Chain A
Amino acid sequence: MTTAAVRNAWYPVGLLSGLSLDGKSSLLLGEEITVFGSRDGVPEVESGGRALPVVQRFGHLWTSLGYPGKDLFTIPEADHPDRTLVDVGVVRVKCSPLRAVENFLDIAHFPFVHTDILGAESHPEVRDYKVEIRDEVDEVWATKVEFYQPQAAKSAGGGITTEYMYRVPAPTCCVLYKTCPPRPGEWDVIALFVQPLTEDLCDVWPWMALFDEDSTLTELIHFQQLIFVQDRSILENQIPKRLPLDPAMETPTRADLTSVAYRRWLKRQSYTYGAQLVAE
């Protein structure tokens, strides 16, 4: 369902480094759009002969089918000059855009989907953590999330207990802050920007801002792609396909509090594209 909240949100539609002057066709919320690179440095997006608003941020081009009432969110940590900024690319997934975000927020699947990398079957427990909808910024935050990980990052030498923070600053975007193995006290930033092509199909644009002086860009991209490809097989087989906003469809538990906060937040702002409202 395309509500005002859905149309007025910002969405990623391409890598700034990959835009074509000839234009490239794509979909946004089921509507055809064309994304153009530009010689003068200002890319354009058109839909039905109308020029759409654009923002260039985090290495991606963002647009909206409506009239966004606020600027695209920022990630201040990404401005640190020592960080490596990684445009991972795009992964097309046959799933609801909201399912893609929700999966990113789910810690409990790590031992079983990312076995021996982000989780271990011998350490499946999710400890209590804090979740809140921060009204002052209108974002979902989960903090004090701790989890044992055999290979938390490309730069991790072995198993460590990783601390996470999750942030949902926009309905189809999520940002993960996690323990940075080479720099205690700093956070690695891994974001997932999701372009809703339709309610059941999306392009996922992962992006990272890391402290890692040892790995090559190719190695960092391969690590993140490995993780996301493992997620894709799960995402494409979820039932129901759309994200239920009624808990009778699934039975959330305490480990799912971030997902529940995300669904509550979507419900409060009537963001329903890719959602299933009533249990069937």
Chain B
Amino acid sequence: MLQGELQSPSFLPWVARHSRRLGLTCEILHADARKVVFKVDGQADLIDAFEVGCLLGPFDVWVETITRGPATSDD
């Protein structure tokens, strides 16, 4: 889950592109101007790299915090 100033319309396409570049599958579960929740599958160290990339994010977005947890059956 990402929280911050995430209202840029370019952000979700950026997330999709960045996850594809790392060979991950990414499913957006929730998105609003302050919070985006997604489920990511793939190699563990590449998920780490995805997290680090999201922390910086594109120039017009400010990611304040990232919360990670294992996927649940509700996801």
Contact = CB atoms under 8 A, between A and B. Distances in A.
- Chain B interface size range: 10 to 19
Nearest to B14: A248
A261 to B, nearest CB: 9
13 contacts: A245-B56, A245-B59, A246-B56, A246-B58, A246-B59, A247-B53, A252-B53, A253-B48, A253-B49, A254-B48, A263-B56, A264-B55, A278-B59
B56 A264 contact: yes
Interface of B: 14, 17-18, 21-22, 45, 48-49, 52-53, 55-59, 62
Interface string A264-278: 100110000000011
A256 B55 CA distance: 12
Contact of A252 (B17, B49, B62): B49
B49 A251 contact: yes
* Top 6 A-B pairs, shortest CB-CB distance: A247-B53, A277-B59, A247-B56, A252-B52, A253-B49, A260-B56
Interface residues of A, number: 17
Contact of B52 (A246, A260, A267): A260
Given A253-B49, A264-B56, 5 more contacts: A245-B59, A246-B56, A246-B57, A251-B22, A253-B52
Nearest to A253: B49
A258 to B, nearest CB: 11
B68 to A, nearest CB: 13
A257 interface: yes
Contacts of B53: 247-248, 251-252
Contact of B58 (A251, A254, A278): A278
A270 to B, nearest CB: 10
